[in-house]
């Protein structure tokens, strides 16, 4: 069954996609259905706003990304930015650019993923827009969140002797992407052939259906720890560390042996003949949290499951370096994904 979007029109499509949405957050006063949404935040809160634009062919490939997964991931990457400020996401607006090859049913799938993410993280869909596109699918999501005024965490607060922590493990999403790209080229043009991904499910999940680390923010709050700086790892650990150090006017030392890596990631890197540490440092799209804490919180954090201490902040003149297992020092380079960099 395929229903052309033109048969519903823009407003018909929006009505269909947003039907039955109930507002769950107190700050959401009025959602979809008027010229603008109405939000109301208490005066002791800071309002956080982030936006992400995802373009087909640049950020995702529909050859192997199911639309429902894409919807879920599009919402999650925005939630992750709010958590990275030590906040809580509350509302999103969703704007779509659609070419003629997409049907109403395709948009149902995409929205099913967005709505699932919103249910899981208790976020309201309060508005958006749809328009036609000549270049495939474009997804723009804006997320609005809140944080207590004295608890917002920026990138620029890291101090000398602070400890550097990461949540989860790194490099898995990148290896999942490599795996999908390989299978796409191997199966080019072949119909009805299903690649065998058994034993590699974790890598695919990390690439296709990432999660935002709400749990880590809650753990830190419960332990009364406010990070001195924080960001999420979307472009690779190396690149994000350099952002924090640059904005905090600091240097850092991170230790190769402490970087958390999953077993499947290691196996896959070997299969691809790739350097495992390079994959973990530069892979990106893990959406884990990278943060610094005062040395006084060392004991509290070292007992928390899902958080690893990987290094410490230094004086700016010492620069940013990775200390290898055999004690060598390598200057960190931002080899993460930079979409606007010219190809050499």
The answer to whether residue 344 scores a pLDDT higher than 50 is: no
Output the CA–CA distances (angstroms, integers) from residue 188 to 4, 56, 97, 183, 195, in the order listed.
28, 19, 27, 8, 12
* 181/297 same-domain check: yes
pLDDT at 336: 53
b/e code 237-255 from CB counts within 10 Å (16+ = b): bbbbbbbbbeebebbbbbb
Question: What's the chain's average pLDDT?
Answer: 94
73 and 135 in one domain?
A: yes
- In this predicted structure, the answer to whether residue 263 has a pLDDT above a threshold of 60 is yes
Pairing of strands 88-98, 289-293: unpaired
Q: Residue 327 CB: number of other CB atoms within 10 A?
A: 8
- pLDDT value of residue 334: 75
pLDDT at res. 321: 95
Residue 18 labelled as part of a binding site: no
Does 158 map to a domain? Answer: no
Mean pLDDT confidence for 206-234: 98
Q: Within 13 Å, how many C-alpha atoms sit on residue 302's CB side?
A: 10
Q: State yes or no: 235 annotated in a binding site.
A: yes
Same domain, 212 and 311: yes
Which pTM does this prediction carry? Answer: 0.94
Task: Tell me the mean pLDDT in the region 211-219.
Answer: 98
pLDDT value, residue 188: 75
For the segment 319-341, what is each residue's pLDDT rounded down to a tens digit?
A: 999 999 999 999 998 765 555 55
- The pLDDT confidence band at residue 269, using thresholds 50, 70 and 90, is very high
Cβ–Cβ < 8 Å for 136, 71: no
The per-residue pLDDT for 339 is: 53
Angle 263-271/201-208 helices, nearest 10 degrees? 100
**Same domain for 292 and 252:** yes
Query: Does 50 show up as a binding residue in the annotation?
Result: yes
Q: Is residue 154 part of a domain?
A: no
169 is in an annotated binding site: no
| pLDDT mean over 259-281 | 96
Specify if 267 maps to a domain: yes
Do 121 and 174 lie in one domain? The reply is no
Residue 139: which domain range? Answer: 8-148
Q: 6-33 burial, b for 16+ CB within 10 Å, e for fewer?
A: eebeeeebbeebbeebebebebbeebbe
Q: Is 59 annotated as a binding residue?
A: yes
pLDDT digits (tens, 9 = 90+) for 170-213: 999 999 999 999 998 887 766 666 777 889 999 999 999 999 99
51 is in an annotated binding site: yes
Q: Are residues 167 and 127 in the same domain?
A: no
Q: Does residue 155 carry a pLDDT above 60?
A: yes
- Please indicate, yes or no, if residue 20 is contained in any of the structural domains: yes
129 annotated among ligand-binding-site residues: yes
Same-domain status, 113 and 173? no
- Domain CATH for 221: 3.90.650.10
The CA distance from 180 to 182, in Å, is 5
The pLDDT tens digits for 72-100 are 999 999 999 999 999 999 999 999 999 99
Q: Is 215 annotated as a binding residue?
A: no
155 labeled part of a ligand binding site = yes
Each residue of 21-78: pLDDT tens digit? 999 999 999 999 899 999 999 999 999 999 999 999 999 999 999 999 999 999 999 9
Instruction: For residue 108, say whether it is annotated as part of any ligand binding site.
Output: no
Confidence band for 294, pLDDT divided at 50, 70 and 90:
very high
Is 285 known as a binding-site position? yes
Same domain, 88 and 117: yes
Are residues 245 and 143 part of one domain? no
Looking at residue 342, what is its pLDDT?
Answer: 55
Structure token digits, residue 98: 């659609």
> What was the pLDDT predicted at 70?
98
Confidence at residue 10, expressed as pLDDT on a 0 to 100 scale = 87
Gap between the Cα atoms of 116 and 123, Å rounded: 10
DSSP one-letter code for 317: G
Q: Do 325 and 177 reside in the same domain of the chain? A: yes
Assign residue 59 the CATH number of its domain: 3.30.1330.10
Contact at 8 Å (CB) between 230 and 289? yes
pLDDT computed for residue 333 by the predictor? 84
Same domain, 140 and 189: no
User: Phi first, then psi: what are they for 107, rounded to 5°?
Assistant: -70, -30
């Amino acid at each position: 069954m395929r229903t052309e979007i033109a048969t519903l029109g823009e407003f018909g499509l929006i009505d269909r996609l947003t039907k039955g949405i109930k507002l769950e957050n107190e700050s959401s006063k009025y959602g979809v259905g008027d010229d603008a949404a109405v939000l109301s935040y208490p005066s002791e809160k800071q309002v956080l706003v982030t936006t992400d634009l995802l373009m087909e062919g640049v950020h995702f490939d529909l050859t192997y990304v199911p639309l429902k997964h894409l919807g879920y991931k599009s919402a999650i990457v925005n939630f992750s930015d709010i958590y990275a400020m030590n906040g809580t996401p509350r509302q999103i607006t969703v704007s779509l650019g659609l070419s003629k090859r997409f049907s109403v049913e395709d948009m149902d799938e995409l929205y099913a993923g967005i709505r699932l993410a919103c249910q899981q993280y208790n976020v309201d869909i309060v508005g958006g827009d749809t328009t036609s596109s000549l270049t495939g699918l474009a997804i723009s999501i804006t997320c609005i969140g809140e944080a207590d005024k004295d608890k917002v965490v920026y990138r620029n607060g890291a101090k000398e002797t602070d400890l550097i922590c990461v949540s989860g493990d790194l490099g898995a999403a990148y290896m999942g992407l490599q795996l999908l790209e390989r299978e796409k080229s191997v199966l080019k043009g072949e119909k009805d052939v299903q690649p065998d991904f058994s034993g590699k499910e974790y890598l695919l999940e990390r690439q296709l259906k990432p999660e935002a680390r709400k749990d880590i923010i809650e753990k830190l709050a419960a332990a009364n720890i406010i990070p001195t700086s924080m960001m999420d790892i979307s472009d690779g650990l190396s690149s994000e560390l350099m952002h924090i150090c640059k904005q905090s006017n600091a240097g850092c030392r991170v230790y190769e042996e402490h970087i958390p890596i999953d077993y499947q990631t290691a196996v896959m890197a070997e299969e691809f003949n790739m350097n495992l540490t390079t994959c973990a440092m530069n892979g990106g799209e893990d959406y884990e949290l990278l943060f610094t804490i005062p040395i006084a919180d060392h004991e509290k954090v070292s007992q928390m499951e899902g958080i690893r201490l990987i290094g410490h902040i230094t004086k700016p003149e010492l620069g940013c370096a990775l200390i290898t297992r055999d004690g060598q020092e390598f200057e960190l380079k931002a080899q993460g994904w930079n979409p606007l960099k010219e190809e050499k």
